[in-house]
Amino acid sequence: MTPEPSSDRAPLDCFPALLDQVIVLTGPTASGKTQLALRVAEALANLSVMPNGSAKAIEIISLDSIAVYRQMDIGTAKPSREEQQRVVHHLIDVVEPDHDYSVAEYLTAAHRCVKDIWARGNRPMFVGGTPMYLKAILRGFDPGPPADESFRRSVMQDVQRYGIDALRKRLQQVDPLSAARIDSSDVRRMIRALEFARQVGIPISHRQKQFESERPPEEGLVFTLKTPRPVLHRRIEARVERMFDAGLVEEIRDLKHAYPEMSKTARTAVGYREVLESPEFTDWQSATADTADTGTLETPDWSNVAEQVLFHTRRLARRQETWFRSFSEMRAISTHVTEPEDANVSASAPRNKRASKQANDQAPERPIELLVDEMTDAITQHPIWTEPHPH
């Protein structure tokens, strides 16, 4: 049954794009964003020192949906305390792990940070790799109406009774564009599209068209790290190994003790979900609870769990890269010296393609100083840096 538009329409307040006010450094997980951001911030501080001793400074705003949670440190690879002391950071450790932190909450805080940073005469730099947050910063965001739990339960009952295909047909009647875009298995997003149309009175796909406009790279300062896939995979493997060596499992055990009902975002984060859902963790947690002398417990073999974390982290990196390629605003920063891709190479020359891929797999890493210079040169020539007030 097609939902009737609500007579009590939702407000049309949206978050505007921040492209003309911010610097952004993004890239897939383990690509080296944190260290490069710190070095760029420090280099810009040195470049902008005035005769009176004052200087423009970069303040970093985390662009990470998991780093907002307190006590989730090892699995998120947050900047360390020492790193946060080198450059001012925002939106790290702001909520408890049992809180469902929404995109709208993040954007409310982020917009406030941007305004305050400019008021101090400094410049905001978003650093992180959460694609939804990134899109909202670059192009704006429509939070839509609040959740209608009664409506959602009703639709879920229909899904259980009639199946997902019936839900999709229902959405096609209300919002054909959303029905075509949303994955056929994504029940949550289909219900949200129905809920949106019911409360606002127009399809969500129509309302969000304003956030699809693309702008060329030179208009903003949005940098994305581009790293050869094999190199990135090796870095991810090393990171996962460090996480388990640093006590990831113990951190998760303490989290579950302090927050028995973790939020969906927190408990499904890569690195946390695999441990929480593993039989090894369930058995180990039970054994730990049954004895006060944890030193007598045999340490479980976490290798299978670590393999799952590695697999899902690599998959996350691929999804991030796919998202980043879809943004016209990006300025690519290559972390390694690779052969340029030749668009004229035909499919009839597979040996040349293989040779090029093999060469890029073994490409030498570019010194971080070159990456810093590449970013600072672009930043210092852009109105975001040179103008006294945001656009």
Task: Of 28-37, 199-208, 332-341, give the range with the top mean pLDDT.
Answer: 28-37
User: What pTM, to 2 d.p., does this model score?
Assistant: 0.83
- Kind of pairing, strands 89-90 and 58-62? parallel
CA-to-CA distance for 156 and 164, rounded, in angstroms? 10
pLDDT (tens digit per residue) in 316-347: 999 999 999 999 999 999 999 976 654 444 44
Instruction: Tell me the sheet residues that pair with 331.
Output: 223
The phi, psi pair for 125, rounded to 5°, reads -125, 115
The pLDDT value recorded for residue 293 is 53
Higher pLDDT, 6 or 283: 283
Residues with Cβ < 8 Å from 232, sequence gap 6 or more? 28, 30, 31, 317
Residue 5 exposed, middle or buried by CB count within 10 Å (0-12, 13-18, 19+): middle
Mean per-residue pLDDT for 306-317?
Answer: 97
- pLDDT tens for residues 101-133? 999 999 999 999 999 999 999 999 999 999 999
What distances in angstroms separate CA 81 from CA 39, 73, 84, 85, 92, one per listed residue? Answer: 16, 11, 5, 6, 11
Q: Please, which pLDDT band fits residue 3 given cuts at 50, 70 and 90? A: very low
How far apart (Å, rounded) are the C-alpha atoms in residues 385 and 377? 11
Instruction: Give the mean pLDDT of 259-276.
Output: 96
- The predicted pLDDT at position 46 comes to 83
In angstroms, the first-to-last Cα distance of the chain is 46
**Hey, what amino acid is at 50?**
M
The mean pLDDT value of the chain amounts to 88
Does 38 score more than 90 pLDDT? yes
Question: Out of 1-10, 85-94, 111-120, 173-182, which region has the weakest mean confidence (pLDDT)?
Answer: 1-10
Of the candidates 207, 38, 57, the residue with the CA atom closest to the CA atom of residue 123: 57
pLDDT(36) > 70 = yes
